[in-house]
Amino acid sequence: VDEEDDPVNWVEQIYSALAPSRSIKQYLYTEETEERYEEAFIKVVGDLKAPIKHAHIPHFIENLLPNYTHRVSQRNVKEILHAFGRGENQKGKGVIVWSGIRKGLEDYKKRKADDETDVFIGNALNSASKVYKMWVRFISFVATYHFVMVPARICYAPWSSYLDAGALATDLPADFFTL
């Protein structure tokens, strides 16, 4: 990629790095895009056996995503290399091979299918409820009490025995509430 293709001034560099609208990640796995991979690959390289070299990746992205309104940047090249890049060419820059694209799409479909079949039951309690919040605070207080008092009792032995009335008066209610 030529220097001219990179953002020109520092404002554009920051914007291209941070603007989510300039990312192509959300477009890489859509059904519409999936249908264009083979055609875009052949337009850039000529056949499915040759790899797309690093310098031709922006052209590949332009063919793959014709409705992408922004200029293809180095960020976009890195995103597609991260998704489908396999291997290195002689200059140490990534290349894209057709088998890498097929494998990347298959991996995405497998991950998506696994996510859809996972059974996840969320929290049945309303975390915004006052009762729930009070309960969490109370349990946190009891846990903090035990965190402080157990080492204090072991190290400093404030009571003459572990069955002392003062020790039981403070520990039994705390123990009861942790049940």
Q: How far apart are CA 46 and CA 39, in angstroms?
A: 10
> Digits of tens for pLDDT over the chain (179 positions)?
444 444 456 766 676 666 655 788 888 888 888 888 999 999 999 888 888 988 889 899 999 998 888 888 888 888 888 888 765 544 446 788 898 899 989 988 888 877 666 666 666 777 778 888 898 898 898 888 888 888 877 787 777 877 888 777 777 776 776 66
Residue 46: C-alpha distances to residues 20, 31, 89, 143, 165 (Å):
32, 23, 18, 67, 88
**Which candidate, 140, 12, 139, 155, places its Cα nearest to that of 73?**
12
What is the 8-class DSSP label of residue 6?
S
Residue 173: C-alpha distances to residues 10, 41, 87, 145, 166 (Å):
63, 71, 64, 11, 12
Burial class of residue 120 in the structure, from the number of CB atoms within 10 Å of its CB (0-12 exposed, 13-18 middle, 19+ buried): exposed
The torsion angles phi and psi of 52, rounded to 5 degrees, stand at -90, 120
